[in-house]
Amino acid sequence: MDRVLKSYTLHNFLSIPQISSLSEEMIRDIEIVGRVLPFKTNNYVTDELIDWTNLETDPIFTLNFPRRGMLDKKHYNAIERLLQENADEEIIKQKVQQIRLSLNPNPAGQEHNVPYLGEIKLKGIQHKYPETVLFFPSQGQTCHAYCTFCFRWPQFSGMNELKFAMKEADLLFKYLRLHKEVTDILFTGGDPMIMNAAALETYIKPLLEPEFKHIHSIRIGTKSLAYWPYRYLTDKDSDDIIRLFELIIRSGRNLSIQAHFNHPKELSTDAVKKAISRIRSTGAQIRTQSPLLRHINDKPELWSEMWRKQVDLGCIPYYMFIARDTGSKHYFELPLDRCWQIFRRAYRQVSGLCRTVRGPSMSDHAGKIQILGVQEIRGEKIFVLRFIQGRNHKWVDIPFFAQYDPKATWFNQLKPAFGEERFFYEEQRSKLEITKPFLFE
Ligand SMILES: *Cc1c(COP(=O)(O)O)cnc(C)c1O
Ligand code: SF4
């Protein structure tokens, strides 16, 4: 079936054909919460993914539509009052901005990963780990729909001073010429697959030239398979996209689509199955990742089902993340202990082909920290942790220990175990300068 993308936002969501399934309260919640957190969905999500008979608990509805609990009570009440009073649009905007700034809009010190080229700050690049450069093309800083938990939400809210983006492909190429240690470039966003094929080509084609032979892998981080699989099927440049993927493979590079799936439902439609198959036919790999989210996927069975379905479709499970400390995190967060329980219960139910997945992992300032488990050693209950990725690569894969804390939901709440004052890597970390994204020694 051909589909033409139709987006719904705060301005037109009342025209969604199934909207009469919503109660008055739900509509009011969308209008209030949607003022603060970005809201966008589309006709694929509404027609093929959401179960409109079960909205109270439908995970895909929760994934796209603002719900009351996503906003702090006092923030919710403040906006509700302003709307009831028919307050001036300017006054509402100011309040909204004030609330947004209180929601930790840029978590984990990401600005520390932004490198320089001489004096020029490369606002659209993050280079945290030596071998991988993240690039945020400015035309790719939106998505086919918005996730209510998104940690890049300021990008969609007009908070431009917090936005990572750049247009100048030339600066990217200059940077990569100087950094031969980089083997992987990861296009990210937003969603780079929102770009048309011609725009994507201007970034990718030059990378296939011999001068960039140190770039072995091109990765594209995208939610398009879950939110708009027609990108690869019936959009007017979908054949050009497929040809571009083939060109990357023919150049001898690896192409990895880092696909973002949060729930097995997103793998169930004909459209997504066809899109996966079409991408795989180019020789590209599809690796999958998702954060663990209360109200959406906080059951081991959902993860084991998701990983199995992915392997059935030829995808490779890659990461399970812990939701970041930003935006509406309080609505989605789970204690670290619970995250690990969900991971291991799911992991033990699946074959080795699914066990390529790693997690649960937190993207902290210092690196990607995995919870290996909970143990008791000589009477002290502890978390066993390790770096999957570290700002200093010497830290990677060394087990380390934190005091067990049943309530902790993020790494910064943990303290070293066994009476230690610091974690093993913290001495070296204090030496890091902001302009130097990582240590090479
Ligand atoms: C996760 C991540 C990467 C890629 O890490 P891989 O383990 O190679 O997939 C690169 N840069 C940043 C900032 C990351 O968070
Ligand atoms: S697809 Fe990714 S960047 Fe876009 S809204 Fe969802 S989490 Fe955010």
Residue 1 lies in a domain: no
Q: Span 77-102, mean pLDDT?
A: 94
Residue where a domain stops, chosen among 71, 101, 131: 101
Q: Do 118 and 194 reside in the same domain of the chain?
A: yes
Give the whole-angstrom CA distance, residue 366 versus residue 361. 12
The total number of structural domains in the chain stands at 3
Residue 296 lies in a domain: yes
Quote the DSSP letter at residue 437: -
Look at residue 189 in the predicted model and tell me its pLDDT.
Answer: 87
Give the whole-angstrom CA distance, residue 55 versus residue 231. 27
Q: Span 185-205, mean pLDDT?
A: 95
What is the Å distance from ligand 1's center to 368 Cα?
8
Banded model confidence at residue 164, pLDDT cuts 50, 70, 90: low
**Domain membership of residue 11 as a residue range:** 7-101
pLDDT, one tens digit per residue, over 246-270 is 999 999 999 999 999 999 999 999 9
Q: Do 264 and 131 reside in the same domain of the chain?
A: yes
Residue 82 lies in a domain: yes
Mutate to test the pocket of ligand 1, among 368, 386, 395 (most ligand atoms within 8 A of CB): 368
Look at residue 429 in the predicted model and tell me its pLDDT.
Answer: 55
pLDDT reading at 433 higher than 50: no
pLDDT, one tens digit per residue, over 263-300 is 999 999 999 999 999 999 999 999 999 999 999 999 99
pLDDT reading at 439 higher than 50: no
Q: Do 61 and 121 reside in the same domain of the chain?
A: no
Residue 242 lies in a domain: yes
Whether residue 196 contacts residue 144, with contact meaning beta carbons closer than 8 Å, is answered with no
Residue 132: enclosing H or E segment and its boundaries? strand 132-135
Instruction: Give the residue whose CA is nearest to atom 12 of ligand 1.
Output: 128
Residue 210 lies in a domain: yes
Whether residue 183 contacts residue 217, with contact meaning beta carbons closer than 8 Å, is answered with yes
pLDDT, one tens digit per residue, over 364-409 is 889 999 999 999 999 999 999 999 999 999 999 999 999 999 999 9
Q: Do 139 and 65 reside in the same domain of the chain?
A: no
- Quick one: which ligand is closest to 107's CA? 1
Instruction: Read off φ and ψ for residue 204, nearest 5 degrees.
Output: -90, -45
Look at residue 101 in the predicted model and tell me its pLDDT.
Answer: 87
Q: Do 260 and 371 reside in the same domain of the chain?
A: no
Look at residue 184 in the predicted model and tell me its pLDDT.
Answer: 98
Both tokens of 216, joined, read 């072995």
pLDDT, one tens digit per residue, over 322-371 is 987 777 788 999 999 999 999 999 999 999 999 999 999 999 889 999 99
Q: Span 88-96, mean pLDDT?
A: 95
Q: Do 224 and 189 reside in the same domain of the chain?
A: yes
Give the ligand 2 atom nearest the CA of 221: 2
Q: Do 65 and 181 reside in the same domain of the chain?
A: no
Banded model confidence at residue 242, pLDDT cuts 50, 70, 90: very high
Q: Do 273 and 228 reside in the same domain of the chain?
A: yes
Mean confidence (pLDDT) of the chain: 92
Q: Do 431 and 317 reside in the same domain of the chain?
A: no
Q: Do 82 and 161 reside in the same domain of the chain?
A: no
Look at residue 262 in the predicted model and tell me its pLDDT.
Answer: 98
What is the Å distance from ligand 2's center to 366 Cα?
23
What is the Å distance from ligand 2's center to 62 Cα?
14
Q: Do 273 and 139 reside in the same domain of the chain?
A: yes
Give the whole-angstrom CA distance, residue 156 versus residue 150. 10
Give the whole-angstrom CA distance, residue 288 versus residue 428. 33
Q: Do 83 and 115 reside in the same domain of the chain?
A: no
